[in-house]
Structure 1
């Protein structure tokens, strides 16, 4: 399980860097085309929005796996080590259930409906189902990380 965890971390890290690099290049091209060429590209704003969606949702799943997500831990720090372990396992189970119900099942339904309805982005002309697919993918990643965190000592 440890090997899968480390492999997943590296893959997500590289993919997040790749998405961020594309986002930076896209914004640079937008500025260059607007001010030097005098006409902005039609796809750059839409691509930046979609890249930011992917970056935020996948980044949140990654941070969840690192236990670096935003949390208020003042009361948790007051617990004994045994009680803290138990509370962290309960929190992981709740996050797993949230990821399963809301992100995987709900997000999967959203992706399915988007493909069925044939919704496409206006400027790039790609199916919005591909854009929304990051929600169930990130839900599965959160479930993997939750199971890992529950099973580790």
Structure 2
């Protein structure tokens, strides 16, 4: 479990810094776009399109990051009342569905779309659209890793008596 946790920390940092870098570049591009539009009465299509693509990338990587931190939207009304054994089953089933989704849709489907779009160039940037679409399988790989990690962590926590619903304290009582 320690090895997986170390890998997860590295993955978290990679995505975190990637999102920070994307946000910084987007800020520069949008500022440049505003200055050229209002000061010089010109518009830069390249900065506008690139900012849009980077925004999509940031959303994709940000969603993987939030999923990895388990900070995503989670309705815990039923899970808060479950005993640890049932909670373990729910955690495993939830993450198995996510493994199937990230493998089938994001990794496999994303790789197909990325490969199909490598021959099509973006009109403004003149780069293959596949480069832009590659965020899908990359984020799918991160989500797949996080789902596998979550299953391993839930099993580890269950075996060590640490698996509890979100609304319980160390004694297992509802807060």
Normalized against structure 1, the TM-score is what?
0.94
Q: Partner of 1:114 in structure 2?
A: 117
User: 1:7: which partner in 2?
Assistant: 10
Query: How many residues in Structure 1 have an aligned counterpart in Structure 2?
Result: 151
For residue 26 of structure 1, what is the aligned residue in structure 2? 29
Say yes or no: does 1:50 pair with 2:35.
no
Query: In structure 2, what is the equivalent of residue 132 of structure 1?
Result: 133
1:101-127 deviation digits (Å, cap 9, x = unpaired) = 000011110011111xx2111111111
Q: Could you tell me how far apart the structure 2 residues matched to 1:101 and 1:7 are?
A: 25
Q: Which has the higher helix share?
A: 1
Q: Unaligned stretches of 5+ in structure 2?
A: 157-175
Structure 1 residue 64 displacement after superposition: 1.2
Flag as ranges the 4+ runs of structure 1 deviating above 3 A. Answer: none
Unaligned runs of 5+ in 1: none
Post-superposition offset of 1:83: 1.4
Post-superposition Cα deviations, 1:16-43, rounded to whole Å, max 9, x if no partner, equal 0000111111111100010111101121
RMSD, aligned CA: 1.1
Q: SS of 1:37's equivalent? A: coil
Deviates more, 1:121-130 or 1:70-79: 70-79
TM-score, with normalisation over the residues of structure 2?
A: 0.83
Which has the higher Rg, Structure 1 or Structure 2? Answer: 2
Q: For residues 41-89 of structure 1, give each alpha carbon's deviation from its aligned partner in whole angstroms, at most 9, with x where no partner exists.
A: 1211101110011001111111111111223222222222321122011
Distance, in Å, in 2 between the alignment partners of 1:43 and 1:71 is: 38
